[in-house]
Amino acid sequence: MEYFSNEFFLIALTFGTYFLGKLLRRWTGWVVMNPILVSICCLIVFLKVTGVSYETYNQSGKMIEFWLRPAVVALGVPLYMQLSTIKKQLTPILLCEFIGCVVGIVSVVYIAKAMGASREVILSLASKSVTTPIAMEVTKSIGGIPPLTAAVVVCVGLMCAVCGYRTMGFAHVKSPVAQGLSMGTAAHAVGTATAMEKSPVHGAYASLGLTLNGILTSLLTPSIIPLLGV
Query: Does residue 99 have a pLDDT over 90?
Result: yes
**Looking at the structure, do residues 27 and 116 belong to the same domain, yes or no?**
no
**Looking at the structure, do residues 46 and 140 belong to the same domain, yes or no?**
no
Spatial distance between the Cα atoms of 127 and 143, rounded to a whole number of angstroms: 12
**Looking at the structure, do residues 86 and 57 belong to the same domain, yes or no?**
no
Domain that holds residue 12: 7-66
Res 93: pLDDT? 92
pTM: 0.79
**Looking at the structure, do residues 61 and 80 belong to the same domain, yes or no?**
no
Q: Which of 36, 66, 96 is the last residue of a domain?
A: 66
Find the mean pLDDT for residues 167-195.
Answer: 88
**Looking at the structure, do residues 40 and 129 belong to the same domain, yes or no?**
no
Res 181: pLDDT? 92
**Looking at the structure, do residues 202 and 157 belong to the same domain, yes or no?**
yes
Look at residue 71 and tell me if it is in a domain: no
**Looking at the structure, do residues 81 and 114 belong to the same domain, yes or no?**
yes
Nearest Cα to 17, choosing from 36, 2, 3, 32?
36
Please compute, for residue 132, the number of CA atoms within 13 A of its CA located in the half-sphere on the CB side.
15
Minimum mean pLDDT among 67-76, 94-103, 118-127: which range?
67-76
